[in-house]
């Protein structure tokens, strides 16, 4: 299957990648393809993050707080680097001051053992660091909450399972939210840091993968976030710096972050990148018959192999 994938991909006139990191991975594994993929970053709908938040919505009320909030959004899956989410809990425990709280939200399917184990591991980590916690779901959700020993009033950590679009927007745009934490390592792009920057939040992410292209760590005058190796002490130090930012520093960083997203990661920028690629492909002229035959043959072969695997 790998051979067929490489063969068929080699027939493409133009190859796109969603980041320079993905492009490097592509070149590492598809050694027979000499072309370097063109980079077109995924775009987000800027206007969707400028919508008003309904503060009377009970689901939004249950996730918001006047307490200073650190926010981590991701699916409750091991492949999304549960080890680094655990690292965030450890870092939060080290730097926690006063009423600062951590909100960890993401998709959760109670039918998947992976999701169940991931949530259990995070709860165990919170308990290990003597952090109180609570687990909540939106009103429409029928997701059963595992029987952990939750603290209902002002917990240190709040796990939000299957948050709604409204809850997500409310947390990202709340004046109480101080920072967005992004834990996956070697993520090919990572749209969540871009969402955080668009909402004016400093982003703290691992120093690998796509975030090294979307988040600016230096120079300090252009910073939109912090890129750190996955070490609890290092993350705790970065969190302390973020929490200690002055009002003027926060406002300046927020404006830089919003401007960067609107310039590089908006839907219009993505559309222009794809259109340029299409124009270049069109200028190459008609597809040669032999290449088309090879492509069709390889595709049929791949389908046949897939059917055999299923059988």
d(CA 283, CA 207): 39
Mean pLDDT of 56-79: 92
> In this predicted structure, what is the pLDDT of residue 297?
66
d(CA 142, CA 99): 31
The CATH homologous superfamily of the domain defined by 46-264: Glycogen Phosphorylase B; (3.40.50.2000)
Mean pLDDT of 188-205: 97
DSSP H or E segment with residue 278: helix 267-283
Q: Is the pLDDT of residue 132 over 90?
A: yes
CA-wise closest residue to 260 among 170, 173, 196, 208: 196
> In this predicted structure, what is the pLDDT of residue 286?
81
CA-wise closest residue to 199 among 260, 290, 126: 260
d(CA 1, CA 27): 18
Q: Tokens for 151, please give them.
A: 């603290």
Give the pLDDT band (50/70/90) at residue 304: low
- Give DSSP secondary structure letters for 157-188: EEEEET--HHHHHHHHH-TTEEEEEE--SS-S
What mean pLDDT value characterizes the chain?
Answer: 90
> In this predicted structure, what is the pLDDT of residue 1?
80
SS3 call for 70 = strand
Q: Is the pLDDT of residue 152 over 70?
A: yes
Domain ranges of the chain: 2-41+271-310, 46-264
Mean pLDDT of 273-292: 83
Between 305 and 73, the more confident residue is: 73
Walk across the sheet containing 225-228 and list its strands: 133-136, 157-161, 101-106, 69-73, 177-182, 203-206, 225-228
Match 């972050």 to its residue by tokens.
257
Mean pLDDT of 207-233: 96
pTM summary value: 0.88
SS3 call for 147 = coil
> In this predicted structure, what is the pLDDT of residue 294?
63
């Amino acid at each position: 299957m790998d051979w067929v994938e490489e063969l068929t991909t080699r027939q493409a006139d133009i190859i796109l990648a969603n980041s320079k990191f993905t492009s490097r991975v592509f070149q590492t594994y598809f050694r027979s393809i000499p072309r370097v993929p063109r980079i077109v970053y995924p775009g987000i709908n800027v206007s969707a993050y400028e919508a008003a938040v309904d503060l009377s919505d009970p689901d939004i009320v249950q996730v918001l707080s006047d307490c200073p909030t650190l926010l981590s959004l991701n699916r409750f899956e091991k492949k999304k680097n549960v080890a680094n989410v655990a690292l965030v809990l450890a870092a939060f425990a080290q730097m926690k001051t006063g009423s600062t709280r951590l909100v960890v939200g993401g998709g959760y399917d109670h039918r998947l053992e992976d999701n169940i184990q991931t949530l259990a591991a995070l709860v165990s980590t919170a308990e290990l660091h003597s952090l109180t916690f609570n687990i909540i779901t939106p009103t429409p959700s029928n997701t059963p909450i595992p029987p952990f020993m939750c603290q209902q009033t002002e917990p240190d950590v709040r796990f939000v399972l299957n948050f709604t679009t409204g809850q997500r927007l409310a947390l990202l745009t709340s004046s109480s939210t101080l920072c967005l934490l992004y834990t996956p390592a070697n993520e090919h792009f990572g749209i969540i840091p871009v969402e955080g920057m668009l909402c004016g939040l400093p982003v703290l992410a691992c120093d690998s993968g796509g975030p090294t292209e979307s988040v600016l760590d230096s120079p300090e005058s252009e910073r939109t976030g912090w890129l750190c190796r996955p070490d609890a002490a290092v993350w705790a130090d970065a969190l302390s710096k973020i929490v200690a930012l002055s009002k003027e520093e926060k406002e300046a960083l927020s404006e830089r972050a919003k401007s960067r997203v609107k310039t590089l990661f908006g839907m219009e920028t993505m559309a222009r990148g794809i259109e340029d690629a299409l124009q270049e492909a069109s200028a190459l002229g008609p597809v040669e018959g032999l290449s088309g035959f090879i492509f069709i043959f390889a595709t049929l072969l791949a389908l046949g192999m897939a059917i055999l695997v299923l059988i």
